């Protein structure tokens, strides 16, 4: 404990009043019909961060009606790509202008470091700008080889009303992976943020109004999953649901949406391996492993929480990672020097710790950490940087999402064994490979069952590069051109030129 890097309470000024969040329905801000509210306290500082309108079925239904009326009116769905792009670009500028405000409430509600939250706001603005470019450049196909009297045209149209349900770990960033692409396609939307991090989505609603988005195109309903999310998933007026969160909830959404056969896009969990071959650059690999497991306190679907390292270099890698882990700054999220903040809830912290305790009982060794972290001046929920070695493939810590700052280390001897360990999992979100041999990297990348494979790096991402998982990590894709396609329907137009069709019914 004393050898770890801990950032004590910074003494940064905390807001005197909580953020007040309301629903955005049909272009107006509303309290819940029940007049009920719910509170969110900071997991790091304990202060009341926000007080939000508590939505219920009737509030969600009103939002869905507003979205449906907006879409059917064509006030957004049938305007030009240029006009849609203009609004999205204004929204991106406003995000940048309000980045500090967005970052502060994200930090207070989620416990993530303020520096990271600012970076995510800036990155989200980039997503909005990229989506704006797609609004102007998306197109279909034409077929003029069907004969002299026929012309075929394939067009892409917005799918309709989209329910967007976002998680707590990257509330504003993941909204940016979904909403601007749905808007670029011409859809109208109903958004439900997590009840633990609702406020940055409300701010986004304010910015969209300022950017000139027509009323009813984006509607926001705050509240809990069963009442609000359940309605958004099952309503027949909704054409598509896009959800990011746990695999268990994703399965329930898919089952509920099947009653109306609406489209479902799911970005779910991951147990993402980084595979380190003996010829890897150990210094770079160790740094990337350390980043991959502690980024966002490990509360990340892309967390590199499962390391598969060649047994010849395992001791070297573990020694390097443990040394680097001691230098990672854990503590007060409001201090710009902090790299890892608080855990989202006490209950989740207990779940993280239970995985470590169970692994110990099963014979694994805790090489570092493995306990609650005390931060001077703060009474929030923090967990130590933790490295667990001697993990075997059957242990829960090797197969299930811990969703915390806990690294599991397994070893291998051959490429075949490394691939078997990589693919022997229900998830298939991302993977990484470390080797100075390009042939090793290419073979692993092609055979790994993952939606994204990083080579000699970890978690680099760009708006142009599509993201999504295989197996139980989800279905559908986000960002990039394929991310836009998720929100589009393809329609074929078959046109005969002139009166050249021979009659089917004989005359006389």
Active site residues: 267, 301
Q: Identify the H or E element spanning 346.
A: helix 346-361
**DSSP designation for 436:** S
Sheet strands (E) in 383-507 = 386-389, 406-412, 427-428, 430-434, 452-455, 470-471, 474-475, 488-496
Contact 22, 193 (CB under 8 A): no
Nearest by Cα to 120 from 163, 155, 172: 172
Q: How far is CA 464 from the centre of its chain?
A: 16
Nearest by Cα to 304 from 111, 317, 313, 126: 317
Contact 386, 370 (CB under 8 A): yes
Nearest by Cα to 401 from 452, 348, 477: 348
Task: Kindly give, in sequence order, each residue whose CB lies less than 8 Å from that of residue 95, ignoring residues fewer than 6 positions away.
Answer: 102, 121, 124, 125, 128, 204, 207
CB atoms within 10 A of CB 181: 31
The edge-to-edge listing of strands for the beta sheet with 488-496 is: 141-143, 150-158, 488-496
Q: How far is CA 215 from the centre of its chain?
A: 26
CA distance 234 to 160: 15
**Tokens representing residue 120 in the block:** 């995510």
Rg of the chain over Cα atoms, rounded to whole angstroms, equals 25
CA angle 322, 325, 329 (to 5 degrees): 160
How big is the chain, counted in residues? 508
CA distance 83 to 211: 12
Q: Is the dihedral of CA 366, 371, 374, 380 positive or negative?
A: positive
CA distance 111 to 109: 6
CA distance 386 to 487: 40
Nearest by Cα to 389 from 311, 327, 291, 455: 311
SS (H, E, C) 381-405: CCECCEEEECCCCCCHHHHCCCCCC
CA distance 47 to 375: 16
**Tokens representing residue 200 in the block:** 């940055």
Nearest by Cα to 444 from 269, 271, 274: 274
Contact 156, 497 (CB under 8 A): no
């Amino acid at each position: 404990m004393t050898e770890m890097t801990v950032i004590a309470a910074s003494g940064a000024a905390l807001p005197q009043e909580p953020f007040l969040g309301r629903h955005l329905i049909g272009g107006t801000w509303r309290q819940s019909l029940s007049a009920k509210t719910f509170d969110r306290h900071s997991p790091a500082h304990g202060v009341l961060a926000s007080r939000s309108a508590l939505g219920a079925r009737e509030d969600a239904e009103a939002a869905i009606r507003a979205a449906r009326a907006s879409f059917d009116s064509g006030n957004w769905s049938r305007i030009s790509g240029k006009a849609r792009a203009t609004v999205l670009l204004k929204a991106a500028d406003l995000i940048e202008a309000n980045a500090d405000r967005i970052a502060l409430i994200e930090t207070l509600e989620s416990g993530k470091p303020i520096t990271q939250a600012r970076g995510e706001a800036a990155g989200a603005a980039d997503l909005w700008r990229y989506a704006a470019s797609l609004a102007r450049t998306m197109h279909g196909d034409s077929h003029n080889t069907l004969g002299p009297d026929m012309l075929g045209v394939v067009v892409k149209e917005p799918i309709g009303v989209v329910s967007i349900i976002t998680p707590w770990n990257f509330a504003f960033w993941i909204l940016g992976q979904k909403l601007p692409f749905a808007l670029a396609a011409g859809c109208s939307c109903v958004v439900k943020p997590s009840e633990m991090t609702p406020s940055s989505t409300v701010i986004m609603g304010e910015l969209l109004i300022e950017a000139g988005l027509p009323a009813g195109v984006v509607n926001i309903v705050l509240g809990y999953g069963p009442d609000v999310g359940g309605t958004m998933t099952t309503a027949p007026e909704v054409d598509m649901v896009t959800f990011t969160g746990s695999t268990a909830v994703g399965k329930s959404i898919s089952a509920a949406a099947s009653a109306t056969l609406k489209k479902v896009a799911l970005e779910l969990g991951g147990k993402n391996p980084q595979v380190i071959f003996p010829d890897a650059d150990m210094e770079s690999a160790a740094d990337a492993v350390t980043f991959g497991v502690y980024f966002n306190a490990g509360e990340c679907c892309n967390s590199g929480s499962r390391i598969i390292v060649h047994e010849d270099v395992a001791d070297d890698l573990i020694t390097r990672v443990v040394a680097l882990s001691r230098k990672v700054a854990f503590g007060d999220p409001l201090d710009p020097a902090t790299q890892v903040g608080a855990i989202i809830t006490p209950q989740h912290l207990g779940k993280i710790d239970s995985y470590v305790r169970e692994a110990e009982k099963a014979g694994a060794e805790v090489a570092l950490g493995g306990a609650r972290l005390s931060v001077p001046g703060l009474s929030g929920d923090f967990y130590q940087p933790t490295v667990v070695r001697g993990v075997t493939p059957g242990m829960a810590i090797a197969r299930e999402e811990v969703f915390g700052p806990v690294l599991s280390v397994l070893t291998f001897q051959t490429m075949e064994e490394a691939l078997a360990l990589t693919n022997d999992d229900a998830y298939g979100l991302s993977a990484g490979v470390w080797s100075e041999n390009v042939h090793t990297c290419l073979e692993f990348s092609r055979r790994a069952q993952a939606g994204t494979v990083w080579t000699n790096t970890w978690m680099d991402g760009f708006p142009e590069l599509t993201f999504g998982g295989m197996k139980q990590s989800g279905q559908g894709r986000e960002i990039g051109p394929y991310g836009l396609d998720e929100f589009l329907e393809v329609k074929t137009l078959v046109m005969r030129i002139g009166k050249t069709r021979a009659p089917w019914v004989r005359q006389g």
